[in-house]
Amino acid sequence: MTARSAFTRILNVEDARQAARRRLPRGLFEYIDRGCEDEVSILANRRRLDAIALSPAVLVDVARTSTEAELLGKQHPLPIVVAPTAVAGLVWHDGEIALAQAAARSGIPFCVSTQSITSIERIAAEAGADLWFQLYIWKNRRRMLDLLDRAWAAGAETLVLTADTAVGPNREYNLRNGFGIPLKLSWRAALDVALHPRWAATVMLHALATGQVPTYAHYPAEFRTRLGREALSDEISLAKDVTWDDIRLLRQRWPGKLVVKGILRVEDALTASSHGVDAIVVSNHGARNLDCASGPTDVLPRITEAVGDRMEIFADSGVRRGADIARFLALGARGVMIGRATLYGVAMGGSEGAARVLDLLSAELRTTMGMLGARELGSIRRAEPSP
């Protein structure tokens, strides 16, 4: 049985989620799966997507449908970008490379996180993917600019600034599970790992045996520590004084495409446009940061109306089906970022597991389009609301 055929029992993202739950220690699984505080927003994201009805056209020849999309000047077979996710290398050995390889097979971009355990140089060399780079701004802007130079030299041509994490979120379950970054030893965490020996052997013990103890690969070498230790310098802490002046700085320094992720206000979208930003991501960070934030579906139509002719608009948060991708596109998004879904896939089976999830989402999107009578992405329409 091939690795790909081993996942034929996985029929949707929820199946992949349950497979990831079984394989990962509880603390790590909940770190990637859950939201924040009372988790009102993570449930609301799902309800809001479910409430969006699409309008089918009948008697349309859908023998040939196209899911191709032009994203920031490049043609891709799907309107999907694999979103940046921290510490994917704890979910699977070299998890970032596995995600990038799956993205490359699907012909879509992979966005490397600032907090990746694998360096962008290694990902570029071993995955062959169209790489984007996600940025958190450090207190020391000079060191942050040095990181941009690294990303550009490695081949990333699109920079994604995450703008919606001014302070650390309140995720109480991490404390209850004894899980956090930096990793800390505790009896609860040790028992959690012991109950998941396959993960412990293939990720943690493999790393220890090869001398590759997990660390943030994009931190300056002199400040790089194992994930079990505190940072050696405040210089690379996330800055709390990030403003539109930083967007000007990035626009001056970065020669490629510039994307701002985490926009939920029309006025912020307009300001991004006036600063030369090429695209925005309408997102509430997968409901992981602010439990009382609005959802992307609430504001996406108004943002599209305000700036859709000036810049490209992406969306994320809560995608579980190909129909969810279609819903975001019907609201005005050019493309959709996928985060948790592909992490579930890589957790259950590395690159092949992530590829299985992308294949499922692609097939579901095509089925949705066929049922809608939509031969191309631009034909997807939202149903008119009832009077």
pLDDT in tens, 13-41: 999 999 999 999 998 999 999 999 999 99
State which fold the 5-379 domain adopts.
TIM Barrel (3.20.20)
The Cα–Cα gap between 3 and 73 comes to 34
Q: Which residue has the higher pLDDT, 197 or 357?
A: 357
Residue 248 pLDDT > 70, yes or no? yes
Of the listed ranges 137-151, 211-225, 235-249, 332-346, the one predicted with least confidence: 211-225
Answer yes or no: 285 catalytic: yes
H helix intervals, 24-74: 26-33, 40-50
The Cα–Cα gap between 384 and 129 comes to 39
Length of the chain: 387
> What is the reported pLDDT for 4?
54
> Catalytic: which of 76, 93, 196, 285?
285
The Cα–Cα gap between 99 and 123 comes to 9
Q: Please confirm whether the linkage preceding 296 is cis (ω < 30° from 0).
A: no
Pair 330, 324: CB distance under 8 Å: no
> Which pTM does this prediction carry?
0.93
> What is the reported pLDDT for 229?
46
- Nearest Cα to Cα of residue 81 among 376, 334, 349, 386: 334
pLDDT in tens, 65-110: 999 999 999 999 999 999 999 879 999 999 999 999 999 999 999 9
